[in-house]
Structure 1
């Protein structure tokens, strides 16, 4: 499973300013047991002593009073009691590097002082009223958000509480505007777990046996496992075929993530979205970009994931990074398309809540002020190089993919057959946690590391994460 370890100039030397977080190395061949436990980068903060209930007490209460559907990572779940920028602290005060970012949500960093200050100031004045009264917070944030959409696209915003809710609303808008019920989504996609979005979600792991009507799932333009490799236009032909043979010839909409998050950080093949959008619009449908995970500068090269594909959607949905951890989502579309919601009464009690929109506006300002999109590109590219170098050493790594600070590492027990390493990934995750690094997992088979840290990640953090994975894989 593991190739013989060796020192290579590209992987372990010749880098700019290697910090104390790095593994010891030299130009000589590795000795019998060369991989030492990496050291976490220094951080100028120590949390105050924790005096609350223990992990065992919380777990007991959780099992007694919370839904049995709730699950947790790790054999011994962590009791996380504090967060500061890219780090989390458990009940004992131990620090962990957060490589998961609350599932691609904490873009600015945990408890960023600017965001916290804005929330506290707003909470002291007004926590909630209703959009039936006027308040500047929702209007100011909508204006700022609209300015981040590309080109000359004139847009309006409708705020929601989550990504699921945003995608539900987007699908309804598309159906109302076009007068057509049929919606197309991509296999392996995840769009939410409510009535409509569960239909658009295309993984059996996340679907219950309930009525899910009007959604058709087209071939996934999977560059790793797909039959056409990275030829996006060939995959897109299936969209046209689906329209021709699976519908009346007209569709209401097409929904896609530019990078499938829950699906295992799967970036759609180049050329796919332009061809798919063309086919859908020819059939009268609207194109919906699900930016719940890939939006808000996470991919580094662009502010929105769809921009890397050279397309302009009709509707954009967003959540997660929009509020840096505050429950908030949004649907952005044109005034013309949004007009369909005026034909009846459509209302959301908490959508546009002044506290949430103030937090979202503050987070957006931090992204711009601290140039976190640029940082996501630079640090993300660097981390991807480090992870790719590990692929050269360990046969268990089948693929390294993604862009910016939205990266995936797929583990397989056989590179040729691409057999998912379902058990092995759990072992590596446990080892990395013990070293001090937290990352997620996903993909249909649950064998893909999901690396989506706060965008304030540094190169030293990237090195520590890669070294922790190197160390953990060496223990296999």
Structure 2
């Protein structure tokens, strides 16, 4: 058939010289939104400025370097656990978590209660005085780290924590140069910007003296590696010389690092900073260990923490050894807001509700409920509390929607049992 219609969809019949589409079949080709899982939480009614006024203030009074997402930026109003609500009451499943910051959920009830109690008791003092919350939090946090990482400095942001880590490394080693991986992000302050190796963050001004980069071992997109490499389980296209379970590309990247040591820095350096995986890790997000560095079977000299440490509250930390900490103690180091009573109470509440896995019998019941409804899940993780979801690649979107609904139902049943 010719004409302006273009290729005809399936399901048409020729009748009286015309093309008539079967209505039911035509509708089946139109995509529909998957059904959003239910949520019993009802947000408050939005009563602040209209959207247009908020947008105008943003354009006139907020730094233009703070770029927003989406063609029509979201105006968010309220959050509850994994959900966000905009000014019109529209609900969103938050899979970004404030750039991997909201560890245990928006306005988690137990974290909220702990914060409210501290707000009524003491907002702020400084670390020239003792107060119980910083000591209680420091003890909890230190207990999660292996020896000798037991000394903690509390700061307000990840950039500030990395600033301090660089400073401590230089003081302790009496060296200056620090190496980071290309493609890494370690902060946007003038000090840490030298470690950050992502073009859009560079502003064309002098920064980060004494910072050098080396090639990131990337067998997926880098110059070496391919589908047989041990470290590239998702690479299926590019051929390589690696045999099964072996990664020869590893040696190539090590040679690149040696080349950096031989050509770009002095014979001795202050440190090498690296993300355990070049995304945010820590607080159990790798599934097998609490901290990302533990998956590599190494113990760093200094560890910096931010993002999810405060569930959205501005908080960060540097954890190091007593020996390195003593190097900083030769002179005064002070942080006005780091380790405030309020921040430490928030941090402790986050640890209390992300650190302990559900009891085995509760995990087993969720797992069994999913199986009884027709969904099979794997198990893994340090405490066998991580559900492993790796379906065959022939899975369809309808299959996924069904699996998500089943898992949600199983979790709701768990919540109902816990409430009794």
Same fold (TM over 0.5): yes
Match of 2:263 among 245, 263, 277: 245
TM-fit CA distance, 1:248: 2.1
Pairing 1:119–2:115 present: yes
TM-score (norm 1): 0.66
Match of 1:317 among 294, 300, 304: 304
Alignment equivalent of 1:350, drawn from 319, 337, 343? 337
Aligned partner (choices 278, 281, 295) of residue 260 of structure 1: 278
User: Which residue of structure 2 aligns with residue 432 of structure 1?
Assistant: none
Q: How many angstroms does 1:94 deviate by?
A: 1.2
Is residue 38 from structure 1 mapped to residue 34 from structure 2 by the alignment? yes
Question: What is the aligned counterpart of 2:195 among 200, 213, 234?
Answer: 200
Question: Do 1:84 and 1:110's aligned partners in 2 also have CA atoms closer than 8 Å?
Answer: yes
Question: Could you tell me how far 1:69 is from its partner in structure 2?
Answer: 1.1
Structure 1 176/120 Cα, relative in aligned 2: closer, same or farther at 3 Å? same
Does the Cα contact within 8 Å between 1:300 and 1:376 map onto a contact in 2? no
Q: How far apart are 1:462 and its partner, in Å?
A: 8.4
Q: Distance in 1 between matches of 2:78 and 2:27?
A: 39
Q: Structure 1: where are the runs of 5+ without partners? A: 1-29, 262-292, 394-457, 465-476
- Matched positions, count: 335
Say if 1:297 and 1:304, in contact at 8 Å, map to a contact too.
yes
- Quote the residue 2:210 is aligned against: 214
Q: Is the 8 A contact 2:76 2:85 kept in 1?
A: yes
* Residue number among 356, 362, 366 corresponding to 2:349 in the alignment: 362
Partner of 2:78: 82
CA gap 1:461/1:132 in 2 versus in 1, 3 angstroms = farther
Q: How does 1:84-123 map to 2 (within 5 A)?
A: 84-123=80-119
Conserved? CA contact 2:149–2:301, under 8 Å? no
Q: Report SS of the residue matched to 2:43.
A: coil
Which position in structure 2 is the counterpart of 1:341? Answer: 328
Task: Give the TM-score, by structure 2 length.
Answer: 0.74
Taking a change above 3 Å as real, the CA distance of residues 389 and 190 of structure 1, as seen in their structure-2 partners, is farther
Residue 172 and residue 115 in structure 1: after superposition, are their counterparts in 2 closer, same or farther (change >3 A)?
A: same
CA distance in 2, matches of 1:77, 1:35: 24
1:191 is aligned to 186
Shift of 1:48: 2.3
Q: CA deviation at 1:312?
A: 1.0
Mapping 1:54-69, distance limit 5 Å: 54-69=50-65
Distance in 2 (CA, whole Å) between partners of 1:121 and 1:460 is 37
Q: Deviations over 1:41-89 (max 9, x none)?
A: 1111111221222222211111111111111101111111110000000
Where does the alignment leave 5 or more consecutive residues of structure 2 unmatched?
A: 1-25, 226-230, 232-248, 364-380, 398-402, 410-420
Q: 1:51 aligns with which of 38, 47, 52?
A: 47
Greater Cα shift, 299-308 or 236-245: 236-245
1:389 deviation in Å?
Answer: 5.8
> CA offsets per residue over residues 204-251 of structure 1, 9 Å max, x none?
111122223111100011232012223444313322221122222111
Please identify, of 122-131 and 216-225, the stretch whose mean Cα deviation from structure 2 is larger.
Answer: 216-225
Q: What residue number does 2:129 align with?
A: 133
Aligned to 1:297: 284
Structure 2 residue 150 is matched with structure 1 residue 142? no
Equivalent position of 2:418 in the other structure: none
Q: How many angstroms does 1:378 deviate by?
A: 3.2
